[in-house]
Structure 1
Amino acid sequence: MKKTLGIIAATTLGLLMAGTASAESLTVYSAGPGALIEKLAAGYKAKTGDDIVVFQATTGKVMARLAAEQSNPVADVVISASWDTATDFDAQGLLLDYQSPNAEMVPDFLKSSDYVAQGISALALAWNTTSDVPEPKDWSDLADPAYKDMVTMPDPASSGSAYELVSALVADPNIGWDLFEKLHDNGMIVPGANAQALNPVLQGSRAVVFGAVDYQTMGMIAKGESMKVIFPTTGTVIAPRPMMILKSSTHQDAAKAFIDYVLSDEGQAAVAGAFLMPARTDVSADRPLISDLKLLTVDAGGDREATLTKFADIFASN
């Protein structure tokens, strides 16, 4: 194959596949850290010699791209930030059965016959330690007047992990939609996806992110930012990042080799290096792991569209 590596950002969406990928190229659509998928793509190419083109964006933009291409599929592999993407695609019969031999050390709840976790993030409070507001301990703290107009949150319509958090919190009989009504009344804003929620806090115009993706803030801390990741006392949710091969793929062997690479020692070390929890339990990471966290019960039967509509209705005026 022609040795090319294309990493395509959401801002160049109109150029996607427009002459960058040859007919022989493996195409991966990935939500999540751009630097990570770039490193994984480069590692895969170095190992196999195969071409690979990546479209990296938010979960919402990845899903929109897939929907637009439904009649003429382009992607071979999809990596989402939301586990329900995989379960939904599985239910629709869109996925190719494949169990990688490198998935042996991935826990059963993080894999199925046709999808497997790349890595796992958790949702947290991301607090600017130089702000004038006190360090929060729990989700409900941010409805206190001390945090008036100082809180941001990722939009669950754009962020798959934020949707998982909202779904779990509103399903909890001790929390429910009442918390989000109070957060709205306290001036919490929902400016966009994960990065858009984090930026005002990094810049100091806001103080706390409600539902920050932990690895993003950990990465900022590693670069010297005055931030702290706080896992709330009530509990949080993890957001496994499923990888799946589309049944429509015309490069199924290459797609399987890519899954194998991501789950290899080298691939999982790259995942850990991005401050995500590796999918494999035998790969270490310099961060809290699932066993270190108190987890909320995930609402597996939740109605995604109804949840997103209700959330949007609450925050329409902020």
Structure 2
Amino acid sequence: MTVALGVACGVVQAGQVTVYSALESDEIATYLDAAKHALPDLDIHVLRLSSGDLAARLLAESAQPRNDAIWGMAVTDLLDPRIAPLLTPVHGEHIDAMPARFRGADGTWFAPTGYLAALCVNREALAERGLPMPRTWRDLASPRYRGQVAMPDPASSGTGYMVLSSLTDAGRDARGMALVTAIARNVGQVTLSGSAPCKLARIGEFPIGISFAFSAMQSIRQGYPITMVIPADGAGYELEGSALMKGAAHAADARRFLDWTASPQAAALYRGFKEIVAAPGSVPSAEQQRQGLPADVVATLPARDFASAARERAALIDRYKRSTR
């Protein structure tokens, strides 16, 4: 579903910017409420699309882009060989102050936020089946969990591809590939979205759902008997990147807006929605830590080659599908 959100920031409209975003609508509304105070002379138009629809729109409009900027799109999608050439380097006071690991070496993207793979484990369903609490990805490969796991399809879900590409180093790690294939043998249901496995675990249809941390923490907050497990043998994660379009009609205003999204003010808001916040010194809230998010979550993230993950997507998904038939 495509939702268009527009916010007129101030009475005197000295500038304007059109932004495409894959962030959730409630996030966008919260962030833009703060942006209108920080940039009162800027008229910000945001078109919210799902990740797949956003990529398709960028490709359809590639000959003549209609947006000035991209806000909160998976870096693996941003670096798609067909999309990356549409971007141009962007700099700003706050963007340039971000840690290097959250910025593209060529300056064409930066990522103030990200999300982390996690297991949603229903304690009651697990106990009913006499199964131990899984703590690692390797645990999930055990035959004892046969048919007890729900997992998103890497071909349709960004979360699913995040897990596949992270654990296999974009397909280059043979042991990682064998591990993912072994886990797939235990999957009782493949879902289209990354949040669906957690929702299935909430109601006990499956005791274990491979999902992402925010979905697990949301389930805990809503009172479901869910334990969030961040597998100890490898952090699967994705960064949410932002970028300036090459030849943007409102490039100067787009830079102002993008730099605000990398500001400390924006970072303070991200913590209400995100597991990974790039701003130096940002740590999970006390509630998030009680729910199982590590206090040093950013420091423990392994390096990822997002360009390879983007480049190898089709081949890796095909290889995975063939290995799990």
Q: Flag whether TM exceeds 0.5 (same fold).
A: yes
Q: Report the secondary structure of 1:54's partner residue.
A: strand
Q: 1:137 to 1:296 in 2, by over 3 A?
A: farther
Per-residue CA deviation, residues 173-215 of structure 1 (Å, 9 max, x unaligned), is 3231x334333332342211212332212222122122x2212
**2:50, 2:201 → 1: CA distance?**
20
May I ask how many residue pairs the two structures share in their alignment? 300
Per-residue CA deviation, residues 248-290 of structure 1 (Å, 9 max, x unaligned), is 4222222112212212222101111213322111334324344
**1:109, 1:159 → 2: CA distance?**
24
Tell me what 2:317 maps to.
308
Question: Structure 1 counterpart of 2:109, which letter?
Answer: Y
Of residues 110, 118, 125, the one that matches 1:124 is 118
**2:73, 2:121 → 1: CA distance?**
22
Question: Structure 2 counterpart of 1:255, which letter?
Answer: A
Structure 2: segments with no counterpart, 5+ residues: 9-14, 286-292
Tell me what 1:156 maps to.
154
Tell me what 1:245 maps to.
244
Of residues 42, 58, 73, the one that matches 2:33 is 42
**2:299, 2:202 → 1: CA distance?**
26
Per-residue CA deviation, residues 134-174 of structure 1 (Å, 9 max, x unaligned), is 31111132233432322122232333343232123233332
**1:51 is aligned to 2:54:** no
Q: 1:91 to 1:275 in 2, by over 3 A?
A: closer
**1:257, 1:126 → 2: CA distance?**
39
Tell me what 2:101 maps to.
109
Alignment of 1:78-117 (within 5 A): 78-88=70-80, 92-112=84-104, 113-117=107-111
Tell me what 2:290 maps to.
none
1:131 is displaced (CA, Å) by 1.7
**2:2, 2:240 → 1: CA distance?**
24
**1:56, 1:195 → 2: CA distance?**
18
Tell me what 1:186 maps to.
186
Structure 1: segments with no counterpart, 5+ residues: 1-10
Tell me what 1:5 maps to.
none
**1:160, 1:244 → 2: CA distance?**
19
**Is the Cα–Cα contact under 8 Å of residues 62 and 86 in structure 2 kept in the other structure?**
no
Q: 1:90 to 1:244 in 2, by over 3 A?
A: farther
**1:72, 1:298 → 2: CA distance?**
29
Tell me what 2:284 maps to.
285
Q: 1:225 to 1:259 in 2, by over 3 A?
A: farther
1:310 is displaced (CA, Å) by 2.5
Question: Structure 2 counterpart of 1:53, which letter?
Answer: H
1:243 is displaced (CA, Å) by 0.8
User: Greater CA deviation, 117-126 or 137-146?
Assistant: 137-146
Q: Report the secondary structure of 1:165's partner residue.
A: helix
Please, what TM-score do these two structures have when normalized by structure 1? Answer: 0.81
Alignment of 1:216-235 (within 5 A): 216-235=215-234
Question: Structure 2 counterpart of 1:48, which letter?
Answer: L
1:65 is displaced (CA, Å) by 2.1
**2:92, 2:244 → 1: CA distance?**
12
Per-residue CA deviation, residues 228-247 of structure 1 (Å, 9 max, x unaligned), is 22121221233221111111
Tell me what 1:195 maps to.
195
Aligned-pair Cα RMSD in Å: 3.0
1:54 is displaced (CA, Å) by 2.6
Tell me what 2:272 maps to.
273
Q: 1:166 to 1:46 in 2, by over 3 A?
A: same
State the identity as a percent. Answer: 23
**2:304, 2:96 → 1: CA distance?**
26
Q: Report the secondary structure of 1:121's partner residue.
A: strand
Tell me what 1:204 maps to.
204
**1:208, 1:233 → 2: CA distance?**
16
1:78 is displaced (CA, Å) by 1.5
**Is the Cα–Cα contact under 8 Å of residues 58 and 158 in structure 1 kept in the other structure?**
no
**2:301, 2:270 → 1: CA distance?**
22
Tell me what 1:261 maps to.
260
Tell me what 1:6 maps to.
none
**Is the Cα–Cα contact under 8 Å of residues 73 and 242 in structure 2 kept in the other structure?**
no
Q: Report the secondary structure of 2:195's partner residue.
A: helix
**Is the Cα–Cα contact under 8 Å of residues 168 and 299 in structure 1 kept in the other structure?**
no
